[in-house]
Amino acid sequence: MEIKKLEAEERQNTRALYEEVFSEDSKSFVDYYYEEKVKDNQIYTVEEDGGIRAMLHLNPYELVVNGSKKEVNYIVAVATQESYRKRGYMAALLKQSLHDMYLAGETFTFLMPASESIYLPFDFRTVWEQERPYYDQEDAVENGIVVTDGTQDDAEDMASYMGRKLAETKQVYAFRDAAYYKRLIKEYASDGGRLKVYRKDGQIVDIKIAAETEEVDGGKPKIMIRVIDVRRMLMSLRLKTFMGTCFEVTDPLIEENNRCLMITGTEFSGLMLMDGKPENSEGIIPVAVLGEFVFGKITAEELMERPDVTMSERMKEELDKIIPLSEIYLNETV
């Protein structure tokens, strides 16, 4: 088995596999995807018997994390041709792409799973369920509010409105500029949907989606994350007050994350770290549960109770001074 990272001119060669595996997607949506998203993404493939039998796409997003912009990849279109499944192709593609993202200096990656159980063995954990605001034409609209279909000409105003709103309420979200909304308008249009813009006195006061609601696993679409670089992830955090502790991280897939870290900082400096000495370690945390803790899915108390975690009482008290990234807004589809 050989994994290949495709050159730009080769990426269109994966379309046949995409259409075969994701047959529920409309032709117009696939047209959009291969015209827009494939222009700047990365695609890893496994070729066998003269054809592409498995693939994984990394779609780039600029995320805002605690006010700082980070280049992050959204893993999508993970697919294996049916007759070539159960040969370890998906696992190999995931491991290679995770390692490459580490070498590229990325902090974490995210995906929307068809089933969470597929990605748990690779240390992905669910941190958020998407909350997409859907337009209902029967909604009572306040006097003075005008609702129109969003157009390319509205993109700048839409980005300005959502940028302010997200900065006020969220810690982790996709940076939205005019280009983001121009592409998003095309994305929804490709499947017969629209973005609805609510204005009052000429100013945007809301944006909703006019499309069929999406369900995955019988509920809201879930977002799973995987820490790529433990040091970069920890340094993205803020603190309630002065803290300091030393612990070891274990990662079965990204060897470079297996290290002992000394973390310290204040509410003013943010979190700082340096390499620690194992003899000074107060505990051991696997990378998967560290991700759950960092993104606010479990508390320091719950972290301590996990069977695969060891830590001192003092370490638990110090970790409790970290402000988790619990306010998330990742509503992206592809």
What does the pLDDT look like over 202-238, one tens digit per residue?
999 999 999 876 644 457 899 999 999 999 999 999 9
Give the pLDDT confidence of 230-266 residue by residue, as tens digits. Answer: 999 999 999 999 999 999 999 999 999 999 999 999 9
Judged against a pLDDT cut of 50, whether residue 107 lies above it is answered with yes
pLDDT of residue 216: 46
Tokens of 10: 């080769």
% of the chain beyond a pLDDT of 70: 98
Q: Which residues, in sequence order, are CB contacts of 143 under 8 Å at separation 6+? A: none
Single pTM value for the model: 0.95
The rounded distance, in Å, linking the Cα atoms of 261 and 246 is 6
pLDDT of residue 274: 96
* Closest CA relative to residue 327, chosen from 167, 214, 175, 181: 167
CB count in 10 Å sphere of residue 288: 22
* Closest CA relative to residue 226, chosen from 301, 88, 128, 119: 119
pLDDT of residue 213: 66
Q: Are strands 68-80 and 108-111 parallel, antiparallel or unpaired?
A: parallel
Judged against a pLDDT cut of 50, whether residue 111 lies above it is answered with yes
Angle, CA 259 vertex, CA 296 and CA 325 arms, to 5°: 15
pLDDT band at 119 (very low <50, low <70, confident <90, very high): very high
CA atoms within 13 A on the CB side of 261: 24
3-state SS string for 5-46 = ECCHHHHHHHHHHHHHHCCCCCHHHHHHHHHHHHHCCEEEEE
pLDDT of residue 260: 98
% of the chain beyond a pLDDT of 90: 93
In whole numbers, what is the pLDDT of the chain averaged over residues? Answer: 96
pLDDT of residue 142: 80
Give the pLDDT confidence of 283-328 residue by residue, as tens digits. Answer: 999 999 999 999 999 999 999 999 999 999 999 999 999 999 999 9
Tokens of 54: 């498995």
